[in-house]
A and B are shown apart, each in its own frame.
Chain A
Amino acid sequence: MSPGVLDIDLWRLSLALVFSLLAGGCSIALKLGLGRDILIGTVRTIAQLFLMGWVLGIVFAVESPWLVLGLFLAMAGAAAHTARGRVHESAVHFAWPMYASMAAVYLVVTVTVTGAIVHAEPWWKPQYFLPIGGMVLGNSMNSVALALDRLFSDLRARAAVVEMRLCLGADAAEASADVLRTAVRAGMIPSINSMMAVGLVSIPGMMTGQILGGSDPSQAIRYQIVVMLMIVGATALGSTLLTLIIRRRCFGPGDRPLLR
C-alpha cells in the first residue's frame, strides 16, 4: 500500500461495475437505448485507463524528456483530433494548423507552470508535466472546439455584413473582427464560469487526487488555484491564436470570403 492512499485491489475494483450495471438497468427499464453505449463506455474507460497507467509507469521509470514530450504531443494530437471531430465544416482545411497551434500553446503553458510556478526539477518531470499538461489539453480542447464552431457558423450567418464591410474597403480582419470576438468569447466562457463555481459546487479533480493522496488541503488548494488560472490562460491563448490563424483560412486570395 502506498503511503497516504488506500489501495483498491482488483476484486474491489470490479465492485465498481455495479454502478455501470445500475446505469444499464435504468436504460433497459426506461427503454433508453443506451445499453450498448454504456457497455462500450465502461470497457473503454477500463481499457484506456489501464493503458494510460501502464504507459505512465514506463515513462516515470525511464525519465526521458523526449519520451515525456512525445507522449505530450500524442495527447495533443488526440485532443486536436477530438476537437476537429466536433466542428462540422468542410469548406476550410484546419486540421494541421489546429494541431500545431494547440501543441505549441499548451506546451508553453505547461512548461511555464511546471518550471516557473511548481518548480519541478527538471521542468519535464513526468509526475508533474503529464498530469498538468493533460488538464490543459482536456479543458482547452472543448474551448477550441466551441470557438471554431462559433467562428465558422457566424461567418456563414453574417456573411452579408462581412461582405458589406469588405465592399467598403475593410480587409478580412476588419470585416470579421466582431465574428472573431464572439468566437473567442464562446471559447473562454466555460472556463471563466468554472472559476465562479470552483470550491462551491465541487472539489475539483486535482485537489481531490491530492487530498486522497494524503496532501495537506492548504497545499492542495494552491495546486488547484494554479490549475484553474492556467486553464483560463490556456483557453484564452489557444482560442485566440487558433481563431486568428483559422479565420485567415476562411478568406481566399483578395480577401474573398469562402464561407457563405
Chain B
Amino acid sequence: MSHLALAAVSFAHQAAPGSPVPKGKACPPRPILDNADLSVPRGAFVLLTGPSGAGKSTLLRLFCRLEEPQTGQVLLDGQPVDTLPPAQLRRRVSYLQQTPAVIPGSVRENLLLPFSFKAASGQERPDDAALTALMDSLAAGDIPLDQEASTLSVGQRQRLCLARALLTRPEALLLDEPTSALDPESAAAVLGAAESFCLDQGGTVILVSHAEFAPARVTPVPYVLSGGQLRAGRLP
C-alpha cells in the first residue's frame, strides 16, 4: 500500500470569498493539479521538480491539509487525510516551509515548541543532551541552546526548523525547497539529515527542489510537475 498518495486530485486556487472580480476577467482559475495521481511507498525518497509557479509547494501542502483539493482524494496509508484529526495528521506528515519560521525566544524554546501543544500531551520532553545531539547531527551542535533564535542565520534557522520537525517523530517529511537560501555547508547538513531520515529511520521524504540535487546516499524517485500535469521524471 502507498504511504502517501493522490487519487485523481484536481486543485486550482480559488478567489477569496467576497474579493472583487475585475470586469471581463471572470475566467476560471488556472489548474495547479489536473486529475493527478501519485503513489509514494513508505520509505521512498521522492524528488519533485518543475518550473516556478507550477504548484510544487501546493502539492506538498495538500498532504498536510494546508490546501484542500476541489476533487479527488489525498491519502495517508490509504486513509483520506480529511478523516484524520488535523493535528495528528500534521505530526505524522511534517511539512517544512521554504522560509524557516521561528518564534521569539531561545533555540531551546523553539525546539520544544511542539511539546507545548495539546496534541503532544503525555509525550516526554527531550532533555538538553538530546536536543544538543540532534542539533549536532545537523551540523548545528555549536549553536548554544540559550541563544536567541532570531539572531541565527537563515541556514542555522533552517537546521533548527528541521530538528524541531524531527522531534515530533513524523512518518514523512515534506521539504519545500529547504536549501534554496542556504550556504553549501547548511544545504549539505539539511539534505544529509533528510537522507538519514529516509534510510536509517524508514521515513518517507518528498523533496521539492529547484536547484540540482546530488544525493549522497539515496536514489530518489523523480517526478516533474508542469502545466497541471504530474509525471515521472528523469534523474539528472
Chain A residues at the B interface, C-beta cutoff of 8 Å? 90-91, 93, 160-161, 163-171, 174, 252-258
B88-122 to A contact mask, C-beta < 8 Å, 1/0: 11110011110101010000000001101111100
B17, A91: Cβ atoms closer than 8 Å = yes
CA distance A170 to B85 in the complex (A): 11
B103, A161: Cβ atoms closer than 8 Å = yes
Contact of B19 among A91, A163, A168, A174 (CB under 8 A): A91
B65 within 8 A of A: yes
B97, A169: Cβ atoms closer than 8 Å = no
B56 within 8 A of A: no
Interface size on B, as a range, is 35 or more
A165, B118: Cβ atoms closer than 8 Å = no
A171, B119: Cβ atoms closer than 8 Å = yes
B82, A254: Cβ atoms closer than 8 Å = yes
Q: Could you say which residues of chain B place their CB within 8 Å of the CB of A163? A: 66, 97, 101
Chain B residues at the A interface, C-beta cutoff of 8 Å? 16-20, 64-68, 81-82, 86-91, 94-97, 99, 101, 103, 113-114, 116-120, 161, 164-165, 168
B168, A258: Cβ atoms closer than 8 Å = no
CA distance A227 to B97 in the complex (A): 49
B87, A169: Cβ atoms closer than 8 Å = yes
Q: Could you say which residues of chain B place their CB within 8 Å of the CB of A254? A: 65, 68, 81-82, 86, 89
Q: Could you say which residues of chain A place their CB within 8 Å of the CB of B65? A: 254-256
A90, B66: Cβ atoms closer than 8 Å = no
Which 4 pairs across A and B sit closest by C-beta, in order of nearness? A90-B18, A91-B16, A169-B119, A254-B65
B95, A167: Cβ atoms closer than 8 Å = yes
User: Which of B20, B86, B114, B165 has the most CB atoms of chain A within a 10 A radius of its CB?
Assistant: B86
Q: Could you say which residues of chain B place their CB within 8 Å of the CB of A171? A: 86-87, 117-119
B99, A160: Cβ atoms closer than 8 Å = yes
In the complex where A160-B101, A171-B119, A253-B68 touch, is A165 in contact with B82 (Cβ < 8 A)?
A: no
Contact of A168 among B16, B17, B164 (CB under 8 A): B164
B103, A169: Cβ atoms closer than 8 Å = no
Contact of A161 among B68, B101, B165 (CB under 8 A): B101
Q: Could you say which residues of chain A place their CB within 8 Å of the CB of B168? A: 168-169
By beta carbon, the residue of chain A nearest B120 is A169
Q: Could you say which residues of chain A place their CB within 8 Å of the CB of B99? A: 160
B66, A168: Cβ atoms closer than 8 Å = no
B97, A160: Cβ atoms closer than 8 Å = yes
Interchain Cβ contacts under 8 Å between A and B, 24 examples: A90-B18, A90-B19, A90-B20, A91-B16, A160-B99, A161-B103, A163-B66, A163-B101, A164-B161, A165-B113, A166-B66, A166-B90, A167-B96, A168-B90, A168-B117, A169-B117, A169-B119, A174-B117, A174-B118, A254-B65, A254-B82, A254-B86, A254-B89, A256-B68
